[in-house]
């Protein structure tokens, strides 16, 4: 059993206090509640402290007391408050000195449990909206701090304690394949049908491996990034940074031309390399630039968003948008390597991180297994393995690779019609639930399958409904422009044989399905 302090984190109602007490009894270790220490320090309830001094003072005391516990009680089990991970210093302390277990449950389960708990200062008159917003705002922190995740819904305290004990034993054994250790990097290989392979390196600080992954022939490195990324890389070669505008607007043909001209002026040759640093927008753009310049030069992706790490940077698809639709001009150009530095995710804005969860939700239905119980590095690794397996057998989307577009037909239409105000992962989350509704209307799945889709999407902090203001007729028109469309409207749908491409010709059925996903 790990001899470091054990910190339970999670939303209110997740079971932190009860599980900490029971585990402490089982292990004979002291149990310390950070919230109770605050109450003892100030001599008033947390709710009264919020009124008297405000949340900022509470957070200051929380950090001060967490530091004291780490230094003075190294064998303790800590019941962390629901917002313990909000403070950057708290996250640093936990990562460096403790083992963190995230206890989680669906929002409604949390609300049901909290009904008898009394006052909760951060829950407003609309608890359902409040808990959903707390999940969205804290998801990036829970995910990037947690060494292990345990789902508590439908389980007794003893059952949860048993699961936690199992996770801790895996940590002690440093069993990297389980995804519960924090040591080192893991590497997944993408193996293509013609024998080509490339590595995907995953883990905190993996960007440091960049120089080892560059082609030996490369003398110049063109780093393509966006100003808002905030991640620098050291290639160990003659390096120049090319910064493009933020957002999806950067994926334009004129931007490709401008970058190629600037690279030519700098003296880039066929033996040199492009390195993308950013999310899916940057890897899409940089990959297409690399595929086009000198009819193709190597590219290495340093992916800094969750969406990029589990999807966009893997598999070689790259391209830019047209006014008529998304990714309508592009190529298949496999990278020489991909780096998924999970440390870069810690500073992502909450909305950006949650957006990536839309792609992660997709993998639940593509063989990802119990992703909800895996920590961040394992979630990324498992998603990469699924995509690598699919791409290895169908590099150019001639068949099975189309399943990776699950949820994307509506998603791309929403992005195009909405001027890309919706983030890609947000749109994919909606698209997954819509695709399940279409499949139900076609008799491919039952209502229980639809509800599972909805629960998975909501569990990642995503709203499964189409925002108001979208014209459903126009969205269906845009389905036909999707790059998967060959004849009719091709959807990727769940069914008895799993997820697969399906030709849907009933326009009214597609329109009717919007009823179930409209706000």
Q: Look at residue 334 in the predicted model and tell me its pLDDT.
A: 97
Q: What is the pLDDT of residue 127?
A: 85
pLDDT of 176 reads: 41
Report how far residue 363's alpha carbon sits from residue 340's, in angstroms, rounded to the nearest whole number.
17
pLDDT at 129: 87
pLDDT at residue 486 greater than cutoff 80: no
pLDDT at 326 over 90: no
pLDDT of residue 445: 97
> Which range among 72-76, 329-333, 397-401, 450-454 shows the weakest confidence by mean pLDDT?
397-401
How far is Cα 285 from Cα 291, in angstroms, rounded to an integer?
10
Whether residue 115 is predicted with pLDDT greater than 90 in this model: the reply is: no
Where are the domain boundaries for CATH 3.40.50.300 in the chain? 6-178
Query: Is residue 134 within 8 Å of residue 82, measured between CB atoms?
Result: yes
Q: From the CB of residue 28, how many other CB atoms can be counted at a distance below 10 Å?
A: 7
**For the chain, where do the domains classified as CATH 1.20.1090.10 start and end?**
406-517
Over residues 357-364, the mean pLDDT reads 94
pLDDT of residue 78: 96
3-state secondary structure of 317: strand
| Average per-residue pLDDT for the chain | 91
DSSP 198-244: EEEEEETTGGGGHHHHS-TT--EEEEEEETTT------SSEEEEEEE
What's the pLDDT band for 325 if we cut at 50, 70, 90?
confident
> Residues 288, 289, 293, 298: what is their CA dihedral angle, to the nearest 10 degrees?
-80
pLDDT given for residue 180 in this prediction: 35
Q: Is 258 helix (H, G, I), strand (E, B) or coil?
A: helix
CB–CB of 495/449 below 8 Å? no
- In CATH, the number for domain 186-393 is 3.40.50.1970
Question: Residue 177's pLDDT is what?
Answer: 39
The predicted model scores a pTM of 0.84
Render the burial of 128-143: b for 16+ CB within 10 Å, e for the rest. Answer: eebbbbbbbbbbbbbb
Residue labelled with tokens 């931007």: 255
Classify each residue of 303-337 as buried b or exposed e, where b means 16 or more C-beta atoms within 10 Å of its C-beta. Answer: bbbbbbbbbbbbbbbbbbbeeebbbbebebbbbbb
Q: How far is Cα 516 from Cα 457, in angstroms, rounded to an integer?
A: 15
Backbone angles phi, psi at 100, to 5 degrees: -110, 130
Q: Is the dihedral of CA 371, 377, 382, 386 positive or negative?
A: positive
Asked if residues 488 and 504 have their Cβ atoms less than 8 Å apart, the reply is: yes
Residue 179 has pLDDT above 80, yes or no: no
- Look at residues 395, 431, 436 and name the one whose alpha carbon lies nearest to residue 410: 431
Domain with CATH 3.40.50.1970 in the chain: 186-393
The pLDDT value recorded for residue 488 is 65
What is residue 246's predicted lDDT score, i.e. its pLDDT?
A: 92
Please tell me the distance from the alpha carbon of residue 43 to that of residue 383, in angstroms, as a whole number: 48
User: What's the burial of 223, exposed, middle or buried (CB within 10 Å: 0-12/13-18/19+)?
Assistant: buried
Q: Work out the percent of the chain whose per-residue pLDDT is above 90.
A: 79
Alpha-carbon distance of 519 to 515, in angstroms, equals 9
pLDDT band at 94 (very low <50, low <70, confident <90, very high): very high
* Cα–Cα dist 239/260, whole Å: 16
Token pair belonging to 231: 């991640």
Residue 181 — pLDDT band, cuts 50, 70, 90? Answer: very low
> Has domain 406-517 been given CATH number 3.30.390.50?
no
So what's the pLDDT on residue 305?
Answer: 94
The class that CATH gives domain 6-178 is alpha beta
Considering only 111-120, 200-209, 329-338, which range has the smallest mean pLDDT? 111-120
Name the residue among 259, 285, 498 with its Cα closest to residue 390: 498
* Residue 176 vs residue 397, higher pLDDT: 397
pLDDT value for 124:
62
pLDDT computed for residue 117 by the predictor: 65
pLDDT digits (tens, 9 = 90+) for 254-280: 999 999 999 999 999 999 999 999 999
Percent of the chain with pLDDT strictly greater than 70 = 94
The band of 169, judged by pLDDT with boundaries at 50, 70 and 90, is confident
Instruction: For residue 508, give both structure tokens.
Output: 């009214």
User: 483 or 289: whose pLDDT is higher?
Assistant: 289
Residue-wise DSSP of 53-113: T-HHHHHHHHHHHHHHHHHH-TT-EEE--TTGGGSHHHHHHHHHH-EEEEEE--HHHHHHH
What pLDDT is stored for residue 121 in this prediction? 54
Integer Cα distance of 246 and 492 in angstroms:
30
For residue 438, give the H/E element and its range: helix 424-441
pLDDT at 18 over 90: yes
């Amino acid at each position: 059993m790990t001899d470091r302090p054990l910190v339970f984190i999670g939303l209110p109602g997740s079971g932190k206090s009860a599980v900490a007490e029971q585990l402490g009894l089982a292990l004979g270790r002291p149990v310390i509640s950070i919230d109770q220490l605050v109450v003892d320090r100030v001599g008033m309830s947390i709710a009264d402290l919020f009124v008297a001094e405000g949340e900022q003072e509470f957070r200051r005391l929380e950090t001060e007391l967490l530091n004291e516990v780490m230094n003075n009680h190294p064998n303790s089990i800590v019941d962390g408050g629901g917002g313990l991970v909000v403070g950057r210093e708290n996250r640093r302390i936990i990562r460096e000195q403790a083992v963190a277990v995230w206890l989680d449950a669906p929002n409604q389960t949390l609300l049901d449990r909290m009904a008898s708990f009394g006052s909760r200062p951060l829950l407003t008159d609309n608890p359902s909206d409040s808990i959903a917003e707390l999940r969205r705002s804290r998801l990036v922190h829970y995910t990037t701090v947690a060494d292990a995740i345990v789902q508590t819904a439908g389980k007794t305290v003893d059952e949860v304690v048993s699961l936690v004990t199992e996770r801790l034993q895996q940590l002690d054994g440093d069993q990297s394949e389980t995804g519960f250790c924090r040591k080192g990097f893991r590497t997944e290989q993408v193996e293509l049908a013609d024998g080509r392979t490339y590595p995907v390196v995953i883990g905190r600080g993996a960007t440091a491996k960049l120089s080892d992954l560059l082609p030996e022939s490369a003398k110049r490195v063109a780093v393509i990034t966006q100003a808002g990324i905030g991640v620098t890389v050291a290639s160990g070669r003659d390096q120049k940074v090319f910064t493009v505008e933020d957002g999806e607007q950067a994926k334009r043909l004129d931007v490709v031309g401008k970058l190629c001209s600037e690279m030519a002026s700098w003296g880039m040759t066929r033996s040199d390399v492009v390195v993308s640093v950013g999310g899916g927008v940057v890897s899409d753009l940089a990959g297409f630039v690399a595929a086009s310049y000198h009819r193709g030069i190597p590219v290495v992706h340093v992916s800094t968003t969750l969406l990029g790490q589990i999807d966009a940077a893997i598999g070689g698809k790259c391209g830019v948008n047209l006014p008529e639709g998304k990714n309508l001009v592009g190529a298949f150009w496999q990278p020489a390597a991909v780096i998924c530095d999970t440390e870069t995710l810690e500073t992502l804005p909450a909305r950006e991180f949650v957006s990536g969860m839309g792609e992660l939700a997709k993998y639940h239905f593509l063989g990802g297994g119990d992703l909800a119980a895996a920590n961040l590095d394992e979630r990324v690794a498992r998603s990469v393995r699924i995509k690598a397996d699919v791409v290895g057998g169908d590099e150019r989307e001639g068949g099975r690779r189309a399943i990776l577009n699950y949820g994307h037909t509506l998603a791309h239409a929403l992005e195009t019609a909405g001027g890309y105000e919706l983030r890609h992962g947000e749109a994919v989350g909606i698209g997954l639930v819509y695709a399940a509704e279409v499949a139900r209307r076609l008799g491919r799945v039952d209502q229980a399958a639809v509800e599972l889709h909805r629960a998975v999407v909501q569990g990642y902090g995503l709203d499964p409904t189409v925002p108001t203001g979208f014209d459903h007729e126009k969205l269906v028109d845009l389905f036909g422009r999707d790059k998967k469309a060959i004849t009719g409207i091709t959807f990727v749908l769940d069914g008895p044989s799993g997820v697969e491409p399906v030709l849907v010709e009933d326009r009214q059925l597609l329109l009717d399905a919007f009823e179930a996903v409209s706000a």
